A and B are shown apart, each in its own frame.
Chain A
């Protein structure tokens, strides 16, 4: 009997190791390929996430926000900018995930930055406003390292460049588009529990866009607005059940503003023939339920700022907060994968132009609960 069990156990182990070993080899195979596809556009997935530098130093480092590197959203696309710049310009690069995942503390984030600096990082890109404290500490301790703070604002440190986005413009365009396309029962499910500035701007802009389009079409709109089950930006059965309930109760489209929460939204939408508005990047490739996405060009702007450092123009960004918006061409909704029928790309471009030249002004205040404000065409449903 003992022998039989031993054989079984050994069998189980061998199975586990060979099964997974096979996958690893395949990955190594794709790692060899180059970063650009035939069409000339950058295919980020072809650039490997891990690389071995010859001298053991990694010049450009990336510190992730809460959530996974491959969240198909905020982390991943900032990272895409980092690795795209690095591979185009022959720099070594590496990503660091602060310890303890969702529960990462300032100390964990600082440790990740220190590890990056100790491995010879020249530029450290830190994603997410939660990194503020750790960044200030690291910027003082490593004055020769240059830090890029995505989605946050620190002033007065010459070696920190803060990058912000006008998420409210992207949210506005997405909300406007949804109502113009004929939706009248909308939802918003945001991450960060109502305390994440980027998500708040997306949400508030979204509601403003909905209001503006409802004014144009003269329709009344119903809105469900929630930060529930979003504090960790992760998919969960509870979130899926809640959103499933929304669709069941008549909601037609939900703006999923929170990284991996998208998975729960997509699952609920697919089950209920509902629609989803993606966030940060064009998420239409991830689910058939996506009608449009409120985008900010994380990769492009990250590349801009890293490029400024290596081109000797650090002072353009260093020590101040730079805000990228429609005027810089860094926010919008995707036109390549246009699926809306009630609203055309030309109309979209006209509206975008109005936002660029300031004819349409969008409030960018941090409002976590727009239902407390007065709206003419929107009724908030609990």
Chain B
């Protein structure tokens, strides 16, 4: 059970945070198709930062958490910088947002693989030494306990074999959601995605708001990319994030552009992804019987489930879909 919840979080957290990135951009009126590209870029920068710091022995293994937080920060800053390419073309130059985003999606893996090849002479950039679990994972030894120390149910759920980024992302998710809905700034940002002309007439700088929305989006996607690399691929960057950026876009639409639904969608998808991978050793009620393995359903059925469920839920909810009205339309002051 604990395994299922923890692994689900590992799948769901990057999805949630990147879907939130999508919300921020689209609510301000810019379609951010470049989420995938920014994630790839963020993952690369984060891994490169970790690797460089390890190589120069700036941090010891005991200071892994600090190193991880710094890498998280660096990758979000670089993700924000990278997203400026999109903002510049989409907002200042009023170019087609979809094409701009697609261009970034093509650019990111190319540029990342180019540098990985120069740095590592191969197509994957790994940590300089050690593995992600022993450097960055929170274990009993992080708190000075022996290996195999028992925390009790809640303790082992929240404190054993988890990554700090999970909680960091959850906090960021909640804080930013509140900002988007409960502050003056959030209202202004959302208004720019619905009716920018009206916002402008009330003295809101639409360009500035859209820049801010897309930049927050880039920072979140960059951080999400690093989180993905850290928790699911042993802190390695390979010029891809297994389509998580596009999945996050789907989760965003799935969640109807609202944070709460996005969170639920991400968790639902993550849960079924996790069941697909671990069904054979899932002991749901703790009685030593691996039920899912014993009903004798083909593993392919389990692997199909996440996508099937998404399709079904979308079929029922898409009617209520409410796209930000001005999304995708470059704002032109002259067109009032």
Interface residues of A (CB under 8 A from B): 1-2, 5, 8-9, 11-12, 16, 19-20, 23-24, 27, 49-50, 68-70, 101, 224, 228-229, 235-242, 244-246, 248-249, 260, 263-264, 266-267, 270-273, 286-288, 382
What's the Cα separation between A241 and B9 when bound, in Å?
A: 12
Q: 1/0 contact trace for B289-329 toward A, CB 8 Å? A: 01001000001000000000000000000000000000000
Q: How far is the CA of A243 from the CA of B66 in the complex (A)?
A: 28
Find out whether the CB atom of B133 lies under 8 angstroms from the CB atom of A271: yes
**Across-interface contacts of A249 in B (CB, < 8 A):** 281, 283, 290
What chain A residues lie within 8 Å of B281 (beta carbons)?
A: 242, 245-246, 248-249
A selection of 24 A-B contacts at a CB cut-off of 8 Å is A9-B85, A12-B78, A68-B122, A69-B121, A69-B122, A70-B122, A229-B277, A235-B234, A237-B232, A238-B273, A240-B232, A241-B7, A241-B10, A241-B274, A245-B7, A245-B280, A245-B282, A248-B283, A249-B283, A263-B236, A270-B134, A270-B137, A271-B161, A382-B280
In the complex the two chains form, what is the Cα distance from A9 to B3 in whole Å? 43
CA distance A192 to B278 in the complex (A): 20
Instruction: Verify A19–B299 contact, CB threshold 8 A.
Output: no
Q: A245 contacts B277, CB within 8 Å?
A: yes
Q: Specify which chain A residues have a CB less than 8 angstroms from the CB of B148 in the assembled complex.
A: 273
Contacts of A239 in B (CB 8 A): 277
- Determine whether B226 belongs to the interface, using a CB cutoff of 8 Å to chain A: no
CA gap between A271 and B118 in the complex, in Å = 32
* Residues of B close to A20: CB separation below 8 A: 48, 115, 118-119
Kindly identify which residue among A49, A242, A267 contacts B132, using a CB–CB cutoff of 8 Å.
Answer: A267
Measured CA separation A27–B116 after assembly (Å)? 13
Shortest distance between the CB of B280 and any CB in chain A (Å): 6
The one of B85, B137, B290 in contact with A271, judged by C-beta atoms closer than 8 angstroms, is: B137
Q: Which residues of A contact B233 (CB under 8 A)?
A: 235-237, 263
CB distance from B119 to the nearest CB of A (A): 5
CB distance from B192 to the nearest CB of A (A): 16
With A101-B123, A237-B11 given, can you name 7 additional A-B contacts, CB distance below 8 Å? A5-B92, A68-B123, A237-B242, A240-B234, A245-B277, A270-B131, A287-B134
Chain B positions within 8 Å of A, measured between CB atoms, are: 3, 7, 10-11, 48, 52, 78, 81-82, 84-85, 87-88, 92, 111, 115, 118-124, 126, 130-134, 137, 139, 147-148, 161, 207, 231-234, 236, 242, 273-274, 276-278, 280-283, 290, 293, 299
Contact status of A242 and B81, CB under 8 A, knowing A68-B124, A263-B131, A266-B234: no
Closest-CB distance, B232 to chain A (whole angstroms): 3
Q: Whole-angstrom distance between the alpha carbons of A299 and B252 in the complex?
A: 50
Give the shortest distance, in Å, between A86 (CB) and chain B (any CB).
Answer: 16
Shortest Cβ distance from residue B128 to the other chain A in the assembled complex, whole angstroms: 11
A50 and B121: CB pair below 8 A? yes
B278 touches A382 (CB 8 A): no
Task: Give complex CA distance A287, B132 in Å.
Answer: 11
B153 to chain A, nearest CB (A): 15
Q: Tell me how far the C-beta of B170 lies from the nearest C-beta in chain A, rounded to whole angstroms.
A: 19
Point out the residues of chain A lying under 8 angstroms from B126, CB to CB: 263
Specify the chain A residue showing the minimal Cβ separation from B296: A382
Considering only CB atoms, which chain A residue lies closest to B124 in the complex? A68
**Is A9 in contact with B88, judged by CB distance below 8 angstroms?**
yes
Taking CB atoms, residues of chain A closer than 8 Å to B242 are 236-237
Cα of A9 to Cα of B52 in the assembled complex, Å = 23
- Contact (Cβ within 8 A) A244 B3: yes
User: Which of B52, B88, B280 gathers most chain A CB within 10 Å?
Assistant: B280
Which A residues are CB-close (under 8 A) to B78? 12
**Pairwise interchain contact B147-A273, C-beta atoms closer than 8 A:** yes
A248 close to B3 (CB less than 8 A): yes
- B84 and A23 contacting across the interface, CB-CB below 8 Å: no
Q: Which residue of A lies closest to B123 (CB)?
A: A68
Q: Which residues of A lie under 8 Å from residue B131 when comparing CB positions?
A: 263, 266-267, 270, 286-287
Q: Which of B84, B87, B122, B134 contacts A12 (CB 8 A)?
A: B84
| Smallest beta-carbon distance B87→chain A, Å | 8
- What residues of B have a CB within 8 angstroms of the CB of A16 in the complex? 111, 115
Cβ contacts under 8 Å, B234 to chain A: 235, 240, 263-264, 266-267
Within the assembled complex, what's the spacing in Å between the Cα atoms of A239 and B134? 18
Instruction: List 5 A-B pairs, minimum CB-CB distance, nearest first.
Output: A245-B281, A237-B232, A270-B133, A245-B278, A249-B281
The CA of A236 and the CA of B276, in the complex, are separated in Å by 13
A9, A24, A238: the one contacting B119 at CB < 8 Å is A24
A residues less than 8 Å from B124 (CB atoms): 68, 70, 260
Question: With the chains together, A245 CA to B131 CA distance in Å?
Answer: 19
A8 and B3 within 8 A (CB) = no
Say how far B213's CB is from chain A's closest CB, in angstroms. Answer: 15
Distance, CA A246 to CA B148, complexed state (A): 17
Residues of chain B contacted by A23 (CB below 8 angstroms)? 52, 118-119
Contacts of A229 in B (CB 8 A): 277
Q: Contacts A235-B234, A266-B234 known; A245 to B3 CB distance under 8 Å?
A: yes
Nearest Cβ on chain B to A324's Cβ, whole angstroms: 27
Kindly list chain B residues whose C-beta atoms are within 8 Å of the C-beta of A266: 131, 133, 234
Return A98 CB to nearest CB of chain B, in Å.
12
Inter-chain CA distance A244–B11, complex, in Å, is 14
Q: Distance in Å from the Cβ of B36 to the closest Cβ of chain A?
A: 16
Q: List B contacts of A267 (CB < 8 A).
A: 131-133, 234
Separation of A43 and B232 alpha carbons in the complex (Å):
32
Q: Is the CB of A70 within 8 A of B207?
A: no
Please determine whether A70 and B121 come into contact, CB atoms closer than 8 angstroms. Answer: yes
Q: Which one, B10, B88, B137, contacts A237 given CB within 8 A?
A: B10
Most buried by B among A2, A101, A237, A238: A237
Chain A residues with CB under 8 Å of B236's CB are 235, 263
Q: Is the CB of A8 within 8 A of B277?
A: no
Q: Which one of A1, A69, A241, A382 has the highest number of Cβ atoms from chain B below 10 Å of its Cβ?
A: A241
Complex Cα distance A23/B51, Å? 11
- Nearest to A241 among chain B residues (CB) is B277
Known: A23-B118, A68-B124, A242-B278. A8 touches B137 (CB 8 A): no
CB-defined contacts of A237 to chain B, threshold 8 Å: 10-11, 231-233, 242, 277
Query: Considering the chains assembled together, what is the distance between the CA atoms of A272 and B140 in angstroms?
Result: 11
Residues on the B chain within 8 Å of A235, using CB = 233-234, 236
Closest partner residue, chain B, to A238 (CB atom): B277
